[in-house]
Amino acid sequence: MKKILYVCNTAGIAARFRLPVLKGALANGYIVECICGDGIDAAAHFETLSSTGVTVHRLPGLEADGLSVGQLWTQSKAIGEIVDRTRPDIVHAFTHRANVASYLALRKRPKIRFIPNVTGAGRLFEQGASSMTRAKRAAMLGFYRAMSTRCEVIYFQNAADAQEIGESMNISPERIRLTCGSGLDPGSVEAVSDVDVAEMRIALERDHGIDPNRRLFVLPSRALHSKGVAEFYAAAARYLDLFDDCAFLHAGETVEGALAGFDAATLGRMQRPGLAFLGFRTDIITVMASAFGVVLPSYYREGTPRALIEGLYLGKMIVTTDMPGCRETVIDGWNGHMLSPRSADALLAAFVAARDADVKRIEANSRHLFERKYHADRIVGAYLAQYDNPYVQSG
């Protein structure tokens, strides 16, 4: 039996976002093993992977941010040792750090097929970056150029990343592959009944004073500036000054002791009647199912945000920005609204325009977009086809 070794940054990402492809490979007769870093609730996620039939190799530090050459070199040696023990036929890596560390590990192991996957350009590729960030971006692109001679193909989650990073690699277009995010398996999403929604609305009224008759817009995001959190609160407050028919919810982790986002105390002060911060929610799917619209006014270089894919699956209006990975989830005026990033004015205009939206039409359109682009079966099928039919360069 052939073996695939996946390399992921965290156990949680592997257990949530990569699980469809891991299961797909197992179902198609591959032996599946996975290297991953720690992250939040790592032990529980390791157990999820193991119970699925995946052999897990823990590599602490693979979850780290940044681009430390020393760390990458150390991690590449650890990956190389695991590769020598496990002897996979294919190494499939996800995220910048895992891609680079895997490439360094495989340079002297030419018989093993290597498939990197860019899951989002990230902060290194944001506009207006500092000189230090630009230098790190150049270094990252240098790694990808070197990687082009070793990888079989390379996957991206959106066209902008494929163009910017793919062109810098100077590889043939047929070796650049595009998926629509990581894919969502509907079977992995907890079922939400009308009773669940009704109980959620009762809880929101009890705990946050949210009128159960109001339409809800929810921002399911960590409280990072780059996710457009400030713009969301500003636009929501201005809407509430004008109308009494909607309420606005923010659900996600705070950012404590850092300049990158908002801490709990600040978010508490930003609340007002009709605008509530819910904190991190384990029942986020039920919160989203209770809403009319899912909002992500991001100016971060996303891959394809999971929250927007979930919003499409749930049939929600999508309100997001004209940014890579976000813009692909909405057809402006058809299943939601696409707006300029960093603009509370544009976000307010989208909320006002949504007052006249046809709920049933939006629901059908978003679900149609999910089925045609983001269903896990489509993305897993593309990966499995690649595993079974390796690309061979002519000449």
Question: 284, 282, 222, 214: which is closest to 248 by C-alpha?
Answer: 214
A 10 A CB-CB count for 269 gives 10
**For the chain, where are the alpha helices, taking DSSP H only?**
11-16, 19-27, 42-52, 69-86, 96-106, 131-147, 159-169, 194-208, 229-242, 264-270, 284-289, 306-313, 344-353, 359-369, 376-388
Question: 283, 324, 326, 321: which is closest to 306 by C-alpha?
Answer: 326
Q: Identify whether residues 240 and 298 lie together within a single domain.
A: yes
Transcribe 286-315 into DSSP letters: HHHHT-SEEEE---S--SS-HHHHHHHHTT
Report yes or no on 395 lying in a domain.
no
Report yes or no on 267 lying in a domain.
yes
Q: Which domain holds residue 293?
A: 187-374
Q: Identify whether residues 165 and 67 lie together within a single domain.
A: yes
Report yes or no on 393 lying in a domain.
no
Report yes or no on 53 lying in a domain.
yes
- Average pLDDT over every residue of 294-317: 96
Q: Identify whether residues 98 and 113 lie together within a single domain.
A: yes
- Average pLDDT over every residue of 247-256: 96
Give pLDDT, residue 393.
62
Asked whether residue 338 carries a pLDDT value surpassing 50, the answer given is yes
Report the CATH number at residue 59.
3.40.50.2000
Q: How far is CA 369 from CA 4, 38, 220, 317, 381, in A?
A: 31, 33, 20, 12, 18
Among residues of the chain, what percentage have pLDDT more than 70? 99
Q: Identify whether residues 168 and 197 lie together within a single domain.
A: no
Give pLDDT, residue 395.
45
Report yes or no on 81 lying in a domain.
yes
Q: Identify whether residues 252 and 358 lie together within a single domain.
A: yes
Q: Considering only residues 389 and 90, tell me which one the structure prediction assigns the higher pLDDT.
A: 90
134 pLDDT tier (thresholds 50, 70, 90): confident
Token output for 333 = 């005026």
Q: Identify whether residues 171 and 237 lie together within a single domain.
A: no
The region that residue 29 occupies, defined by phi over 0 for left and psi between -120 and 50 for alpha, beta otherwise, is: left
Q: Identify whether residues 26 and 153 lie together within a single domain.
A: yes
Return d(Cα 157, Cα 3) in angstroms, integer: 24
Asked whether residue 140 carries a pLDDT value surpassing 80, the answer given is yes
Q: Identify whether residues 148 and 73 lie together within a single domain.
A: yes
Mean pLDDT score of the chain, rounded to an integer?
Answer: 95
Query: Tell me, what DSSP letter sits at residue 204?
Result: H
Report yes or no on 175 lying in a domain.
yes
First to last CA, the chain: 30
Burial of 273 (0-12, 13-18, 19+ CB in 10 A): exposed
Q: Identify whether residues 194 and 279 lie together within a single domain.
A: yes
Q: Identify whether residues 163 and 286 lie together within a single domain.
A: no
Asked whether residue 57 carries a pLDDT value surpassing 90, the answer given is yes
| Residue pointed to by tokens 């360069």 | 393
How much is the pTM? 0.93
- Average pLDDT over every residue of 62-66: 83
Give pLDDT, residue 357.
95
Q: Identify whether residues 85 and 160 lie together within a single domain.
A: yes
Model pLDDT for residues 142-182, shown as the tens digit of each residue: 999 999 999 999 999 999 999 999 989 989 999 999 998 88
Q: Identify whether residues 222 and 347 lie together within a single domain.
A: yes
Model pLDDT for residues 215-245, shown as the tens digit of each residue: 999 999 999 999 999 999 999 999 999 999 9
Give how many domains the chain has, as a whole number: 2
Cα 160 to chain center, whole Å? 15
Token output for 35 = 């290297």
